Structure 1
Amino acid sequence: MEKPTVAHMLENAVSAVPDSVFLHEGPKNVTFRELDNVTDQLATAFIKDGLRKGDKLGIIALNQLEWLYTYFAAMKIGVGVVALNVRYRAAEFEYMLNQSEVKAIVSLNELGDFSYSDFFEGFKNKIPSVEHYIFMGEGFNGSRSFVKMLDEPAANQLLNEAKARVRPTDTALVIYTSGTTGKPKGAMISHNSVIASAKAQMDHFGIMEEDVTIGSMPLNHVGGISCCVTVVLLSHSSVVLVPAFDPDEVLEAIHHHKATIFGGVPTMYRMLLNNDKRKVYRLDSLRLCFAGGSNVEPELCELITGALPNARLSNLYGLSETSGACVLSKSTDDIEKVQASIGVAIGDFDIKVVSEEKKTLFNGEIGELAVKGACVAKGYDNMIDETKESFGHKGWLYTGDMAYMDDEGYIYYKGRKKEMIVQGGYNVYPVEVENILVEHPEVSMAAGFGVPDDFLGEVGRFYIVLAPGARLSEEELKNYCAGVMADYKIPRQFVFVDDVPLTPAGKIQKSLLKEQYFASLQ
């Protein structure tokens, strides 16, 4: 029997619990049956617009119903969703939309003081593959209205023909993860891989129909679409959509909906539990809290367990390349184990630790973490060499993360082999930022790395060498960054220097810069 697709999982939910609420958004409640009907209509509209299996559709939106309507409609007809961050600007949009050859964009028309419709109207010539612009509000002349597309009557014959062509191995999602070469890489997550990761997480945590999960992790990230929404879909439970993480909104959502599950990165927990309003709300309904990334450090463990005594605390480790979770704490782990280890492999996934030569290391030896199993993504979209490097070894994904394993299979995370900075829960790669910085006419060289920060965990510190005769202030450089990159990537620290150390080959010697910085703190 062929493995199921995301659309099959929705059909199963509609068959089992048609009138159970799947999605909560403010005062709106959407049942599984209602979602199925709405997405049939939207899928029909997509087909009539010429979208076919294998095409790509970009989504630019917050955690909202329209995002999930678009996603499930696309899943039904085999269109891959390119999940884009609302914070992206010109540099990211131009690269990602062209690199993944997006054919249609579904977008907010504006957010804050930024108009996506105005932006894309003037940007169309730089993204020639995009044929359709669909806005959740007023767009430009020639664009489509998302609301009007929802009025399209479902065409059963067209839909059934399209649905029959979708396979579990087809690309469901493309989620971009920045590369150490400076080129973001689009992880191709299949229907099969996202379902495999979510099912393993659901089974491991024992998630039930009665559970209510807070959906504040972004849907353009596996933390939102896989670890939250797909788990909820498979378990026939419900999710409360929070547009973007806001401590007050999350606290209100937990209280009002008597939420049982919350997941986030450590920064989110700090913002939530250090909030002055926390004691106004009842949080005792939470039975499970999981933290993504490295193991939860002792101070934060104490804060979480003290504030949420009814909740079991778990670590969650996963990547875009593993389609979501692949390692979780055990339910029997005490708080000391949660502080020390990120957990064990879940489902039937295999984990090993390897040397630089990709040889399996003995337990206790630190090396690179490798993952194998149905959760592993297909590779990187339109990047053959990068796919071979990370995915091309007998089904093993080499994560670039350093760890060791003990005799019981517990994994102990030791840091990143790559240069990634985790700034407030967002992944930032220095080379990508450096490449954008040196495009400024007054910047000659740029070199950055992560430094500790009490609140955000880590922030980017970038050394700037200006062009001869240039006079550029830190404020001017930050304003430039704000116009061309997502705000979470903007360096928090700029250091203007006359020169930077170079290797004999002429490359910037970042290791020496880091040594000099940390030595200065002693």
Structure 2
Amino acid sequence: MPDAEAPEPHGRQEWRTVPELVRWAARRFAPAEAVVDGRTRVTYGELGARVERAAAACLAYGVRAGDRVAVWAPNSLDWITAALGAVSAGAVLVPLNTRFKGGEAAEVLARSGARLLFVTGTFLGTSYVASLRRAAGPAAGPAPEQGPSRGPLPGLPALERVVVLSGDAPPDFLTWKEFLAAGEDVPPGRVRAAADAVRPDWPSDLVFTSGTTGRPKGAVITHAQTVRAYALWSDLAGLRAGDRYLIVNPFFHTFGYKAGVVACLTRGATMIPQPVFTADTVLAHIATERITVLPGPPTLHQSLLDHPARAAHDLSSLRLVVTGAAVVPLRLVEQLRAELGVATVLTAYGLSEASGIVTMCRRGDPPSVIATTSGRAIPGTRVRVVAADGTVCGPGEPGEVRVRGFTVMRGYHEDPAATAEVIGPDGWLRTGDVGVLDADGNLRITDRIKDMFIVGGFNAYPAEIEQLLGLHPDVADVAVVGVPDHRLGEVGKAYVVRRPGAPTTSDDLIAWARREMANYKVPRTVEFVARLPRNASGKVVKGELRGAR
């Protein structure tokens, strides 16, 4: 089998863009419960009205088609409303990782050229507004090449307005209420016209992901790709009207926003966003909200199975689990089915550069296939495994996983050189992952060419972490690898060469890292070495480091 290919789907959807999908869902499922966020419950009809109001406010503040609008906030009804409102006004959504520190968020805001930002107030004890001000406020100064600042943050001259998703905001920022009020004078016809003007081939979102250089790159995905891919995802998963979907996966990630919000819109399922994962809260939500669908990384589901209070909660409503992002133990699949009575457990594989979805298991696949593979190519895509010399590998032969089809991104935002590195003239996307296809076309990921490792469902890129650790004055050289962790799947381990006479301890360096980078990127252990193993070309031989752990 040189390629694994799925046939093109048949039939035509009633929507080709995200605004069309939102409006269709608001009509089709009007009385059904759309979102449950704490004590707030809104129907699909009410959600549609909220989105239109947010779109009107975007238009009132000058958002034009193609403008980038960022959201830096945890899962919530307001996130859904702000994001869908911006996209309905013709903007391109830029989701920001809530684990980012201020400098990391400012980097993505600068590279995307975002004109408007929706930001949470305080989350997990951190003021995101203060964090952003420290990174891009008056002390930072305007970026000369971008001209003078037009907004409240001199370090981000393209950013014209910041809206705080709460009732309080600094004088030069807007509250959520103030922002929405500005849209009251925008005629409904203008809002509808802006949504109708959105074309299927326009970008719908810009998801930033780091590469081996550590420099953020934004994958450009269109409206047509988004709605088609997640209508397919919903078909393959068996998502249906009446399902109650606990969305623990962060909205800044494709798995949370598209396999969550967009998928629910296509089926009229109820969304229950959860801003922070804790096993106690998940268990309580399943029992009280009668949750039927719970996607997430394997660590999430294992933590529920292992929780000492599990028996005190009624989990009988659960019927569908979709997981991935790591190897899934066969025992986990069997436990979910036998102990929790989950009828459907599926695994999948994807990456931001391919709209977040490449392969997926099918309902009815045996547990061994679900646990040991990521399933087969979704309809409309082709998957192949290619050897280093460019030849296509046969079944069971490892090589780089490559993808071609409608899910492949248009390219990296304003980065044609990086785009050319991963998408060939023939349209095949180089994923950077090493995998094996079996005779039935099921894909098994065996390694990561890019050395990426996954911490509790979050992608961690060693080159980016190494770049940050290298800023410490006592670090002369550093290499980071992923090591197994019972709770998180993998965590980072740093091998560090100290500068002569430097007194820094491992605890010192870890504490410093926690102040400078998102928590999932912080190495859990540091080992000081005299030198790093390097090959003749000067590259660190990470295989030796992994073997030495």
Alignment TM-score, normalising by the size of structure 2: 0.90
Select which of 128, 133, 141 maps to 2:157: 128
Tell me the CA shift for residue 361 of structure 1.
2.2
* Deviation larger for 219-228 or 491-500: 491-500
Q: How does 1:64-463 map to 2 (within 5 A)?
A: 64-122=76-134, 123=136, 124-137=153-166, 138-151=168-181, 152-153=183-184, 154-463=186-495
**Distance apart, 1:295 and its partner CA:** 4.5
Displacement of 1:311 in angstroms is: 2.5
| CA drift at 1:262 | 0.9
1:467 to 495, 499, 502: 499
Aligned pair in 2 of structure 1 residues 125, 440: CA closer, same or farther (>3 Å)?
Answer: farther
C-alpha distance in 2 between matches for 1:322 and 1:117? 32
SS class of match (1:325): coil
The residue aligned with 2:542 is: 510
Q: Which letter maps to 2:171? A: N
Is the contact made by 2:435 and 2:443 (CA closer than 8 Å) also made in structure 1? Answer: yes
Paired residue for 2:61, among 8, 24, 49? 49
Once the two structures are superposed, residues 199-238 of structure 1 have per-residue CA deviations (whole angstroms, 9 ceiling, x without a partner) of 1111112321121111111000011011111111001121
AA at the equivalent of 2:59: I
Selected match of 2:41 from 21, 25, 29: 29
1:329, 1:343 within 8 Å by CA — same for their partners in 2? yes
**For 1:151-170, what per-residue CA distance to the aligned partner results, in whole angstroms no more than 9, with x for missing partners?**
33252233233223311122
Q: Is the 8 A contact 2:15 2:21 kept in 1?
A: no
Give the total of aligned pairs.
517
For residues 22 and 271 of structure 2, the distance between their equivalents in structure 1, rounded to whole angstroms, comes to: 15
| Aligned partners of 2:230 and 2:262 also within 8 Å | yes
Structure 1 residues 372 and 310: CA distance shift in structure 2, 3 A: same
TM-score, structure 1 normalization: 0.94
Q: Which amino acid aligns with 1:131?
A: E
The letter for the 2-side match of 1:440 is H
The aligned amino acid for 2:177 is V
Question: Equivalent residue for 2:27?
Answer: 15
Structure 1 residue 3, shift from structure 2 partner: 6.4
* Other structure's SS at 2:365 match: coil
Cα RMSD after superposing both structures:
1.9
What is the deviation of 1:84?
A: 0.7
Q: Does the C-alpha gap of structure 1 residues 168 and 514 become closer, same or farther in structure 2, counting only changes over 3 Å?
A: same
User: Relative to 1, partners in 2 of residues 1:343 and 1:506: Cα closer, same or farther, differing over 3 Å?
Assistant: closer
CA distance in 2, matches of 1:454, 1:437: 25
Alpha-carbon distance change, 446 to 295 in structure 1, aligned in 2, over 3 angstroms: closer
Distance in 2, matches of 1:482 and 1:125, equals 26
1:264 alignment partner, SS class = coil
26-35 or 406-415, which deviates more: 406-415
| Amino acid aligned to 1:147 | K
Partners in 2 of 1:79 and 1:358 — Cα distance?
39
SS at match of 2:434: strand
Shift of 1:373: 2.1
State the one-letter code of the partner of 2:458.
Y
What is the aligned-residue identity percentage?
30
Question: SS where residue 86 of structure 1 aligns?
Answer: coil
Q: Which residue identity is paired with 1:115?
A: S
2-structure distance, mates of 1:429, 1:216: 22
Check whether the contact 1:42–1:70 (CA below 8 A) recurs between aligned residues.
yes
How far apart in 2 are the matches of 1:365 and 1:436? 36
Q: Could you tell me how far apart the structure 2 residues matched to 1:332 and 1:295 are?
A: 20
Unaligned runs of 5+ in 2: 1-11, 137-152
Instruction: Please say if residues 297 and 326 of structure 2, whose CA atoms lie closer than 8 Å, have aligned partners that are also in contact.
Output: no
Counterpart in the other structure of 2:7: none
Secondary structure of the corresponding residue to residue 42 of structure 2 = strand
Note the C-alpha offset of 1:476: 2.3
1-structure distance, mates of 2:326, 2:172: 47
1:92-127 superposed Cα distances (whole Å, 9 cap, x missing partner): 123211111111111012123321222333422322
2:421 maps to a residue whose letter is E
Higher deviation after alignment, 466-475 or 506-515: 506-515
Asked if the contact 1:90/1:485 (under 8 Å) is kept, the reply is: no
